[in-house]
Amino acid sequence: MDTIIKNVKIITMNLDKHVIAYGYVLIKDGRFAIVSDGEPTKEQREKSKVIDGNGKWLMPGLINTHGHPAMSLLRGINDDLPLNDWLEQAIWPYERKLDKKSVQAARNLSLVEMLESGTTTFVDMYHLHMHEFAETIETVGMRASLMRSVIGLCSKEEQDEKLAESLSFAKQWNRGADGRIRTMLAPHAPYTCPPDYIERIVQAARDESLPVHMHLAETRKEIHDYMDEHGMHPLELLEERQLLEGTDWLFAHGVHMYEQHMELLQKHGAAISHNPKSNLKLGSGVAQVASMLKHGVKVGLGTDSAASNNALDMFEEMRFAVLLQRGINEQADMIETYEGLQMATVFGAKALRYEGLGTIETGQEADFILLSPNQAHLHPTDHVLSHLVFAAKGSDVTDVYVQGKALMENKQLTTIDKEKVLAEATLQFNNLKKTLQ
Ligand SMILES: [Zn+2]
């Protein structure tokens, strides 16, 4: 049966910035068959399940292009350290103690948080229990780009073993869960993967037509150390080794990059996942996003993990992204309001190489959210695009759909038990604390 959602304001996110003040969508086989103003016809209503949107705002589901959902139990651990010390002193000792149950508890916690704040698609870069997570996503119904990421500070045999594991996971799950799961290969970072290893990973990705995801140029220290060791910026080393061309790169961060790097990214179609809050919290800096966009680089937004954010609310990322560029460039239109929304939706889809995602248009995947405008901070309701970027909160989201299926209805999650997830997260965190005492 088809589904109709009527009596909604539709933020289409198309190139014309079109907002339908009063309209409806008709969903057939997981896609939008009709996106229209006005009311559905009697004939359409008779063949469909009709849901009254009660004047809510309907927009594309948010796309989180970089994260580590398995790290959510580490939320709030050592708030005041720079990236290197934070990883070595705070995060890695905890991560070494993570077992299957704690990883699962953290991931479920992340799924609840993302769903409740309107994220429909996310990236998980991690190395533990990936098959189990893919199975969870299959049940919960979200859309995700998954990868078994690798750190190459080990013997060649171990490197090869990790790469083989990544490849086997990627091949098994790519386009799985009714096409909702995509996979990538993921060297963790230039400072944890020697160039030869990155080269082997890129070669494997090209052979299997998989995108490659990697942290890049996150801190000034990373670039200084890299220059000392290799005599050039890590992006330039990738270029010199001809590893940028013919590869669908998605780099997380890209904070310490300069004009010539924007040109390289654009030339090779590489995408950036901009993680403004995580970069600020760790004192890493501010990526030159306005310049990236001006150069035509694909830029999506990401939260990074709850350990460095500490939330997974994409409305916050959108707001930080726009405000930061205006502040550091001292220019009020340095990133247009609409570009903020595009980075959280349609640009994110492009960064992940999903087709047919990120706008509300006929033929597109029916991944969308509804927000209740019955909030003081969203009134008067006329300037909806402005409100979504500068005033809305994740908690304004009331309904979440992926492939036309409701994963949250009127604030109730339909495929995951929130109470159970919160209790299990607390239990597993307490166990984890004990092992470190
Ligand atoms: Zn990260």
| Tens of pLDDT, residues 160-210 | 999 999 999 999 999 999 999 999 999 999 999 999 999 999 999 999 999
Q: What is the pLDDT of residue 7?
A: 98
CA of 30 to the centre of ligand 1 (A): 31
CA of 436 to the centre of ligand 1 (A): 23
Pick the more confident residue, 76 or 65: 65
CA of 10 to the centre of ligand 1 (A): 33
CA of 224 to the centre of ligand 1 (A): 20
Question: H-type helices in 38-155, by residue range?
Answer: 42-46, 83-85, 92-95, 100-116, 130-140
When pLDDT is averaged across residues 301-329 and rounded to a whole number, the result is 96
CA of 253 to the centre of ligand 1 (A): 8
CA of 372 to the centre of ligand 1 (A): 31
pLDDT confidence tier of residue 94, bands split at 50, 70 and 90: confident
Q: For 31-45, how does the pLDDT look when each residue is reduced to its tens digit (9 = 90+)?
A: 999 999 999 999 999
CA of 416 to the centre of ligand 1 (A): 25
CA of 64 to the centre of ligand 1 (A): 12
Question: H-type helices in 231-371, by residue range?
Answer: 234-240, 259-267, 276-281, 289-294, 314-329, 337-344, 346-351
CA of 12 to the centre of ligand 1 (A): 30
CA of 131 to the centre of ligand 1 (A): 20
CA of 188 to the centre of ligand 1 (A): 8
CA of 66 to the centre of ligand 1 (A): 6
- Domains along the sequence of the chain with CATH: 2-59+367-413 (2.30.40.10), 62-351 (3.20.20.140)
CA of 219 to the centre of ligand 1 (A): 12
**How is residue 88 written in tokens?**
């070595």
Q: What is the pLDDT of residue 74?
A: 92
CA of 88 to the centre of ligand 1 (A): 15
Q: For 337-396, how does the pLDDT look when each residue is reduced to its tens digit (9 = 90+)?
A: 999 999 999 999 999 999 999 999 999 999 999 999 999 999 999 999 999 999 999 999
CA of 67 to the centre of ligand 1 (A): 6
Q: What is the pLDDT of residue 92?
A: 86
Q: For 131-160, how does the pLDDT look when each residue is reduced to its tens digit (9 = 90+)?
A: 999 999 999 999 999 999 999 999 999 999
CA of 33 to the centre of ligand 1 (A): 37
Q: What is the pLDDT of residue 38?
A: 98
When pLDDT is averaged across residues 408-413 and rounded to a whole number, the result is 98
Strand partners, 60: 368
When pLDDT is averaged across residues 262-290 and rounded to a whole number, the result is 97
% of residues, the chain, pLDDT over 90 = 93
Please give the model's pTM, rounded to 2 decimal places.
0.97
CA of 84 to the centre of ligand 1 (A): 13
Q: What is the pLDDT of residue 436?
A: 75
pLDDT confidence tier of residue 93, bands split at 50, 70 and 90: confident
Per-residue pLDDT at 86 exceeds 90:
no
Which residues have a Cβ under 8 Å from the Cβ of 67 and sit 6 or more positions away?
Answer: 110, 122, 123, 124, 125, 302, 303, 304, 305, 312
Sequence letter at residue 39: E
CA of 45 to the centre of ligand 1 (A): 46
Mean pLDDT of the chain: 96
Q: What is the pLDDT of residue 90?
A: 84
CA–CA separation, 367 vs 60, rounded Å? 6
Q: What is the pLDDT of residue 77?
A: 86
What spatial distance separates the first Cα and last Cα of the chain, rounded to whole Å?
55
